[in-house]
Amino acid sequence: MCGIVAALAREGNIGPEVISGLKTLEYRGYDSAGIAVMTDDGILVRRKMGKIRALESELAANGLPPSSQALAHTRWATHGVPADRNAHPHTDDNGKVVVVHNGIIENYAELRAELQQRGHQFRSDTDTEVLVNLIASNLRQSGSLHAAVRQALSQVHGAYAIVAMSECEPGRFVVARMDSPLVVGLGADGTYAASDMPALLHLTRDFLILENGETAVLELDHCQVYDPAGQPVDRVVTRCDWTPEQAEKGGYPHFMLKEIEEQPDVLARTAFDRFHDSEGDVDFEATFALDDAELRYFSRLRFMAMGTSLHSAMLGQMMLAELARLPGETLNASEFLYSPELKETDALTVIISQSGETADSLRAMREVKRRGGRVLGVCNVQGSTLAREADHLILTHCGPEVGVASTKAFFGQITALYLLAIRIGRARRVLAPSAGRQLLAALRGLRPKLDILFGAELKAAVEQAADYLASVNSCLFLGRGFNFPIALEGALKLKEISYIHAEGYPAGEMKHGPIALIDAQFPVIALATPGRTYEKMISNLQEVRAREGKVIALCAQGDERIAREADFLLQVPEVSELLQPLVNVIPLQQLSYQVALKLGRDIDQPRNLAKSVTVE
Ligand code: AGP
């Protein structure tokens, strides 16, 4: 998705800081970049197709005058091909107003036709250029940029996060948001706006979060937020607890590798402040806002998410059934919108999203609430739309996840859902304090086991398997029970960063179709750690090898039975069946990383992908 960074500084040349902030948003995926600065001679715009370094070369070649007011953008194409002319920022015909925009203006075609009839000339194929000309046209009547922006936004349908500035009003930004995130940063040396907080952490840690339909006027040392009706509102400052270093690579070659290796720390960040050891229970923060009576009231749980978060949702459902004896279902959030309207009052819906901005998941949340249901959000970004609109909230506290391929956030989600299962099991009195204490002790004891996964032995085994896997065109990940969602996650990781086709399947399904694919060129990655499905997995491995299929097996350390059935072995520590997914997913993340590395892929920003899919 696109990235926005805007800054109004007390003094000095703010352009380099804005470009620096834009680089922290590269992970969101984009195809062009641009910057606009306010100068004594009016607004100057520089923009370039390609990566930010292409824009920096342009700036070095053609210069950019110093300015204390700048706004910049990375574009992920929706309307109009990636090209210089379609890159943001966009100005109106007369170059008096400039806008950057995330989102989609759905009725841009008719607005464009109306403006053309009034004599406007368009130089791009974008919906944003329609918006900026609408604003400029309104500005000539209204005399106020804020009024002109509000009037223009009353004429458009769609999702937007915008920053506008005009040479008629230097020293001022007008910002607005609808279904696309935007934050305002308040610093000692300036006032800022961005798509999300990491882009401004080098300038401030204090933020105002805009709600849907709100606008704001930013000036030096002041920001006034206005509600959808245009009335001033007071907004509490949110202090972001992330440090700029957490948002940086910290010496790693890729954010993804850094975030894979952060996972043992994520265990502590997500879990260890929430243990109520004496009672064998869990204490979530006040935002959870569900007491025992309410937790006993719900007769079922429904989980909804997209992508990797859908895989943790599947595990959440399994853990709630196991520990709280609570039936549940898991739905792809985008499918829920088309489901018949049924009774919602007996269910708690758990919406899981790392970014808290995934359009499909947000629409599902709003639909559940419209139907009278209650929503518990499990999210990694405080201040995100999910974090603010859910009735109840568990933050995973993983720190910023920058790599497009989700790793530590998935780990934090499973950890949080394990704690939730204990919390609900204890509230429903189906889990005794002693059982709760055992489950919490098992989680606390996981950390030294996880460290083994980053040792030389497994690293060598992963690299050997990756050498082979990098040579195939397609493969199958198989798992059963708690390992089935991990098989899906391993397949998603491999396909999204190496571009090798991979499917995740419940191992029991193999004979019902996928076995037709097995041959010497079609390998299987099988999760065969101890548990109630172990024996059946051995049969699967034998069926694959009987058809000359290669087997990469993930198994417990020293498991000779599996060793006899596999061509490549990823040996991991054995832990409880419920916690084994937290162990098993890490070698699969490492495997996909190594394969993508060998294939020279853009690991942190895989082609066509975005970190947060804020459009449906
Ligand atoms: C995961 O590696 C992908 N980047 C993608 O499937 C992602 O999990 C999905 O878009 C959901 O994102 P969210 O967790 O921020 O809602």
Q: What is the pLDDT of residue 338?
A: 87
List own/partner pairs for 285-288 with CB under 8 A and 24 or more apart: 285/394, 285/395, 287/392, 287/393, 287/394, 287/395, 288/376, 288/392, 288/393, 288/394
- Give the pLDDT confidence score for residue 126 in this predicted structure: 87
Tokens of 182: 């935007």
Pocket test for ligand 1, best of 27, 406, 407 (most atoms within 8 A of CB): 406
In whole numbers, what is the pLDDT of the chain averaged over residues?
93
Position 29 pLDDT exceeds 70? no
Amino acid at site 374: R
**Average pLDDT estimate for 207-219:** 95
- What superfamily would CATH give domain 255-450? Glucose-6-phosphate isomerase like protein; domain 1 (3.40.50.10490)
Q: What is the pLDDT of residue 268?
A: 86
Could you tell me the residue ranges of all domains in the chain?
Answer: 3-247, 255-450, 455-598
Residue 79 above 70 pLDDT? no
Q: Is the pLDDT of residue 243 over 90?
A: no
Instruction: Name which of 83, 93, 86, 158 is nearest 120 in CA terms.
Output: 93
At 1 the pLDDT is 59
Least confident of 125-134, 240-249, 352-361, 572-581: 240-249
Ligand 1, atom 6, lies closest to the CA of 307
Would you tell me the crossing angle of helices 127-142 and 108-117 to the nearest 10 degrees? 50
CB 126 within 8 A of CB 79: yes
Query: 48-57, 133-142, 266-275, 420-429 — which one is most confidently predicted on average?
Result: 420-429
Residue with tokens 């996060």: 161
Active-site residue identified among 48, 495, 550, 611: 611
Q: What are 464-494's pLDDT values in tens digits? A: 999 999 999 999 999 999 999 999 999 999 9
Mean pLDDT on 88-104: 92
Q: Are 280 and 308 in contact (CB under 8 A)?
A: no
Q: Which residues contact 46 (CB under 8 A, 6 or more apart)?
A: 34, 35, 36, 55, 58, 59, 62, 64
Q: Which of 346, 298, 301 is nearest to 319 (CA)?
A: 301
Do 3-247 and 455-598 share a fold?
Answer: no
> What is the mean pLDDT of the segment spanning 598-604?
95
**Predicted confidence band at 269 (pLDDT cuts at 50, 70, 90)?**
confident
- In this predicted structure, the answer to whether residue 448 has a pLDDT above a threshold of 90 is no
Give rounded-to-5 percent helix, strand, coil for the chain.
40, 25, 35
- What is the average per-residue pLDDT within 509-522? 94
Ligand 1, residue 358: give the atom nearest the CA: 16
pLDDT of residue 28: 62
Q: What is the average pLDDT across 270-282?
A: 86
Q: Which residue in the block uniquely carries the two structure tokens 């703010």?
A: 14
Would you state the pLDDT for residue 360?
A: 94
Q: What is the mean pLDDT of residues 17-38?
A: 86
Exposed/middle/buried for residue 338 (C-beta within 10 Å: 0-12, 13-18, 19+): exposed
Question: Which range has the top average pLDDT, 152-161, 174-183, 489-498?
Answer: 489-498
- Checking if the pLDDT of 411 tops 80, the result is yes
C-alpha torsion angle, residues 207, 210, 211, 217 (rounded to 10):
150
Does the C-beta of 525 come closer than 6 Å to ligand 1?
no
For the cut 90, the answer to whether the pLDDT of residue 612 exceeds it is no
CATH fold, domain 455-598, is Rossmann fold (3.40.50)
Report the alpha-carbon distance of residue 324 to residue 276 in Å, rounded: 17
Is 2 annotated in the active site? Answer: yes
- Whole-angstrom Cα distance, residue 176 to residue 132? 13
| Dihedral sign, Cα of residue 360, residue 365, residue 371, residue 373 | positive
Question: Against a cut of 0.85, is the pTM above it?
Answer: no
Q: Does ligand 1 have an atom closer than 6 angstroms to the CB of 362? A: no
Q: What is the pLDDT of residues 527-538, one digit of tens each?
A: 999 999 999 999
Per-residue pLDDT at 544 exceeds 90: yes
pLDDT band, very low/low/confident/very high, at 78 (cuts 50, 70, 90): low
Percent of the chain with pLDDT over 90: 78
CA of 312 to the centre of ligand 1 (A): 11
Assess whether the previous peptide bond of 89 is cis (omega < 30° from 0). yes
Closest ligand 1 atom to residue 406 Cα is: 2
Known catalytic residue at 611: yes
Q: Cα separation of 206 and 609, whole Å?
A: 30
First-to-final CA distance of the chain:
12
Say if ligand 1 is within 6 A of residue 458 CB: no
Quote the tokens at residue 568: 């490549």
Give pLDDT, residue 188: 93
Nearest CA to ligand 1 atom 3: 405
Q: Which of 196, 260, 354, 398 to mutate to test the pocket of ligand 1 (most atoms within 8 A of CB)?
A: 354
> 3-247 maps to which CATH number?
3.60.20.10
* Span from the CA of 307 to the centroid of ligand 1 (angstroms): 5
Average pLDDT over residues 454-463: 95
